Structure 1
């Protein structure tokens, strides 16, 4: 089994043990409204490349350190119950955490040396950012209640080419931007 698409399974509350789905490359759980957490067995899906969890409105927990070696992209748009930024493999490239309940970006994100894009737009609980990986090319914080972005985490982003801060009504000052912009 390479692809498992459960999109729109509104009443699905939990997933079974996925330990034996070792060839799974794509998992789509979008609009599984009742799904509250992922099983810890997800960490065994070493070939998983992309996870879609858009509009999983009850999702509040991702297992700690899922560390999926092949995971490159995670979509989690519209998961308002998700308060904690999940720990990812250092090989992740794109994170879409749009309109989540995420409150902070952990320092461990700096170890994600292949991360190119983080989209946290609409995540109203996010108040500040102090850590970002140097590989980042795109950062979207539009429509957040962000108040502060540490100078040190933006000015050293030599690959940054797209910074979106639209409708950040509580942002008190613009961080120091990279010299090459």
Structure 2
């Protein structure tokens, strides 16, 4: 099994044991509105590249300490009860945690050398961004509660798009990259 879509399975509350799905590369759980948790066997999905959990409104957490080395694209847009996003892969190139309750980003995110796109639009509990991954080309922090941008943003030389609209507590901007 390489691809599995359970999208719009509105009444699905939890996933089965996934420890035998070791070849799974794509998992689409979009709009599984009642999905509450991910099984600990999620850590067995070593070949998983694409995870779409957009609109899983009741999901509160992603299991910590799952190291999904192949994971590249993660969409958790609209997981409105998600309070934290753990360090699940250093190979993520695109992460969307917009419309979540995420309060802070994993410290290790600065080491995610492949991360190009980071979207945290309307994550109203996000108040602090301590560091910015250096390889970003796209960063959307619109309508968050951040009050400052980290000084190291000037070192993000490939940054092409920066959205900060609606950051009402943002008082100043540091030096920006010249890219």
Give TM-score scaled by structure 2 length: 0.95
Distance between the aligned counterparts of 1:18 and 1:106, measured in 2?
A: 25
- Deviation, 1:89, is 1.1
The runs of 4+ residues in structure 1 deviating greater than 3 Å are: none
C-alpha deviations, 1:74-102, integer Å up to 9, x for none? Answer: 00011111011221211110001110000
Corresponding residue number in structure 2 for 1:18: 18
Is structure 2 residue 125 aligned with structure 1 residue 125?
yes
Distance between the aligned counterparts of 1:132 and 1:151, measured in 2?
A: 9
Is structure 2 residue 35 aligned with structure 1 residue 43?
no
Corresponding residue number in structure 2 for 1:81: 81
C-alpha deviations, 1:4-43, integer Å up to 9, x for none? Answer: 1111111111111101011111101111111111111111
C-alpha deviations, 1:122-164, integer Å up to 9, x for none? Answer: 1010112111221111110112222122212x11111111111
Structure 2 SS opposite 1:41:
helix
Structure 1 unpaired stretches of 5+: none
Structure 2 unpaired stretches of 5+: none
RMSD: 1.1
Distance between the aligned counterparts of 2:129 and 2:109, measured in 1?
A: 11
Corresponding residue number in structure 1 for 2:32: 32
Structure 1 SS opposite 2:132:
coil
TM alignment of 1:128-139, pairs within 5 A: 128-139=128-139
Contact 1:106–1:131 at 8 Å: present in 2 too?
Answer: no
Corresponding residue number in structure 1 for 2:111: 111
- Deviation, 1:106, is 2.4
Give TM-score scaled by structure 1 length: 0.94
Contact 1:2–1:23 at 8 Å: present in 2 too?
Answer: yes
Corresponding residue number in structure 2 for 1:150: 150
Corresponding residue number in structure 1 for 2:175: 176
